[in-house]
Structure 1
Amino acid sequence: MPRVEPIPSQRHLFEVPADVAYLDAAAWSPLPRAVRAAGEAGILVKSQPWTFPRTAIPALAERTRTGAARLIGAGVDDVAIVGSVSHAMATAARNLAPAPGGRLLRVADEFPSLRYAFDRLAEAHDLVVEEVARPADGDWTAALLEAIRRPAAKPLAVATLTPLHWTDGGRIDLDRLAPAVRDTGAALVIDATQAVGAMPVDVARWRPDFLAFPTYKWALGPYGVAFLYAAPGRQDGVPIEEHTGNRSPVAGARRYDRGELNDPVALSMAAAGLDLIAGWGVSAVAARLRDLTDRLAEGVAGLGLAVAPEPLRAGHVLGARLPGGLPGNLVDRLQEANVFVSERSGALRLSPHVWADAEDVARCVGALGHVLGRGAGDRTDAQG
């Protein structure tokens, strides 16, 4: 495939000061100026509703739906607008009816929104929940393939997967896993929270039964707006919420739309963020983020932290560990130096987005070295 040129830093489109290294997009992103402006315009609509035709808001909802569909390679009729990924996952679980006695497969330490609704589904249908343990070699894909194909195992009924592990960016290769799940006849549900907007996502290639993502992380939008893709064969189910907007004759995935959909604030912001991502091109965004995380990986490895090999990590989230564990106050100490990151399940999680640049990388590595009391040449044994 031809090399995709990365986009340059888009810091000028954000309100991120030059002395702030915000590397926590996997938690939530700052709003671009254009998204903030769209929200402020939406507030004016609600504060002075007589100045704006209410009939224009359904068109805004469809613009937002179209933007979401475009980012995942879906048809616009295949996407519902919901309030959160947990809402989406509850809807998906409600509309699966697996045969009793099979397996529900997922990775260990999965995010709660991809566990709770499916724990309930497993209990209702007598499914065994199989959590694939974190592999010692970091190869989630191989470990999942082994679990899917394990001889003499109970039949696979449902697989709930993500393109990367949310705690540290460990790669979960759905290009290889999705066909393996489909070959068993199991249902495939994908939580793309940590993917859409930062890496290519293609429902036509993965062919999930359901896929969901929000806007408040990589899609540069607000809280309270998320999307549920439902495959054509999964669009005649029962929504979580019942209202006039998702009842017959509404067809397609719109039957799963949330109530109080026509919010001029949230929809305007979500549409603006989705438009920005589409304008840059997801592949170009992904190329930029891979460059940044590769630089971060080199820098933190020079301080003695362990990172996964490049083929086993996503391009936009980097997890780094210390053999003896991270200091308990590490994140707070880094914040004192205006470096903003997260710790998740023992990993320092670094997640830049399009505002980040080489100076942020240098600031992060320098602050981390200072807190840990070591320079780039003071490596310790980072095996394990």
Structure 2
Amino acid sequence: MTTAGLLPCQRPLFEVPQGVSYLDAAAWTPLPIAVRRAGEAGILAKARPWEHCRADFPAWTERARAGAAHLIGASADDIAIVGSVSHAMATAAAHLAPEPGSRILRVADEFPSLCLPFDRLAGDRGLTVDVVPRPGDGDWTAALLAAIHRPGAAPVSVATLTPSHWTDGAAIDLDRLVPALRTAGAALVIDATQAVGAMPVEIARWQPDYLAFPTYKWTLGPYGVAFLYVAPWRRDGRPLEEHGGNRPSASGARRFDRGELHDPVSLAMAATGLELVGGWGSAAIQARLRALTEQLSERCAALGIAVSEPPRRVGHVLGLRAAGGLPPDLVERLSARRVFVSERSGALRISPHVWADEDDIEHCAQALRDCLSDRSG
């Protein structure tokens, strides 16, 4: 599959030079030039506050909120602006009150922010944390369905899930899981960090109780900004931070907004990145990235590297594994060849975004071939 006819490569909008194959969007992304300039303008406003009207800053906040809402098919009133996904998950855990003796369901090797607050919740309320082990066939969805319906098990009261496993892009099909969870009466908390901006995410399809994502990965923004979707039936709780802007009279999910909200630097950057991604469209981004990861998957198969095939993986992340494991210094050796990727839980995680093109994929494949040949020789 080629990228012909798909969303064009957006490299001119970034400062990624030719010869650098930066394929680590799942870790963090370079800033588009427009996002960097938005941040610089915000810094100037803080540096020379007498030249800038503070009353202008909330407009950036609401642009960011609207941009986040657009990407998940929600309204601005559904979105709280928080400082991180861990902030969002702590908020969700603080407002859930599952029945003692029930289960919290999650997958193995999950990211800490999706574990720790719910482990605390389990301890406080006498719950069992049911951790589904990594399936040998790579089918997380089937393994989770089996866990939900396991005979004799306590009922599932909370499921903390993601659309794909963060370590290697293995797909977790929420479309198939949600009906079973709703039948069980479980609350659904989604960490969409590795999804929003790279693949379609629709609140109407999944109807989660909570869904969160940050801006520093796929939505091309800064650190320190994240968004929390809060379902209408979950908006009566007390926020983690209380301030003048999130009193009980605050509209919708704004009840859970962070303090020091109207940051002229980070919110301007976040809004600019979200609007870029929203303009391209998540479906178009996913199609382009899938073409690139499929191109690399074909090259890796010839090198004897195991790669999950769709639909067992999402289109924007490729997790590479090899019998006996990959060389422990492979990330560093690739970096020396100007190929930038990550290792996560024994998988080489490769994650292009819209600045990447076919030449980057070929550069990566050649570097992998060279590094593995050097080790075998």
Q: Say yes or no: TM over 0.5.
A: yes
Per-residue CA deviations over 1:221-270 (Å, capped at 9, x if unaligned) read 00000000000001111111111111132121101100111100000000
Instruction: Provide the secondary structure at the position in 1 that maps to 2:236.
Output: coil
Distance 1:98 1:278 in 2: 36
Partner of 2:323: 323
Distance 2:179 2:237 in 1: 24
Distance 1:301 1:269 in 2: 39
Return the offset for 1:6.
2.4
Partner of 1:167: 167
Alignment of 1:190-269 (within 5 A): 190-269=190-269
Distance 2:295 2:224 in 1: 33
Partner of 1:341: 341
Per-residue CA deviations over 1:50-109 (Å, capped at 9, x if unaligned) read 112111111211111000000001111010000000000000000101010000000000
Distance 1:301 1:181 in 2: 36
Distance 1:223 1:60 in 2: 16
- State the number of aligned residues: 373
Partner of 1:141: 141
Return the offset for 1:122.
0.7
In 2, are the aligned partners of 1:5 and 1:287 still within 8 Å (CA)?
Answer: no
In 2, are the aligned partners of 1:31 and 1:221 still within 8 Å (CA)?
Answer: yes
Kindly report the root-mean-square deviation, in angstroms, between the aligned alpha carbons of the 2 structures.
1.3
Return the offset for 1:312.
0.3
Per-residue CA deviations over 1:309-368 (Å, capped at 9, x if unaligned) read 221000000001011011111000000000000000000000000000000000000001
- 1:309 corresponds to 2:277: no
Partner of 2:300: 300
Per-residue CA deviations over 1:161-194 (Å, capped at 9, x if unaligned) read 0000000000000111112111110100000000
The residue type paired with residue 241 of structure 1 is E
In 2, are the aligned partners of 1:196 and 1:218 still within 8 Å (CA)?
Answer: yes
Distance 1:192 1:135 in 2: 21
Return the offset for 1:49.
1.1
Q: Which runs of 5+ in 2 are unaligned?
A: none
In 2, are the aligned partners of 1:39 and 1:268 still within 8 Å (CA)?
Answer: yes
Return the offset for 1:26.
0.2
Alignment of 1:30-109 (within 5 A): 30-109=30-109
Instruction: Provide the secondary structure at the position in 1 that maps to 2:213.
Output: strand
In 2, are the aligned partners of 1:85 and 1:214 still within 8 Å (CA)?
Answer: yes
Change (3 A) 1:5 1:129: farther
After TM superposition, the score normalised by the length of structure 2 is: 0.97
Q: Which runs of 5+ in 1 are unaligned?
A: 379-384
Return the offset for 1:374.
7.3
Distance 2:124 2:300 in 1: 46
After TM superposition, the score normalised by the length of structure 1 is: 0.95
Distance 1:179 1:6 in 2: 33
Partner of 2:110: 110
Distance 1:270 1:180 in 2: 35
Alignment of 1:146-157 (within 5 A): 146-157=146-157
Return the offset for 1:5.
5.5
The residue type paired with residue 249 of structure 2 is P
Partner of 2:25: 25
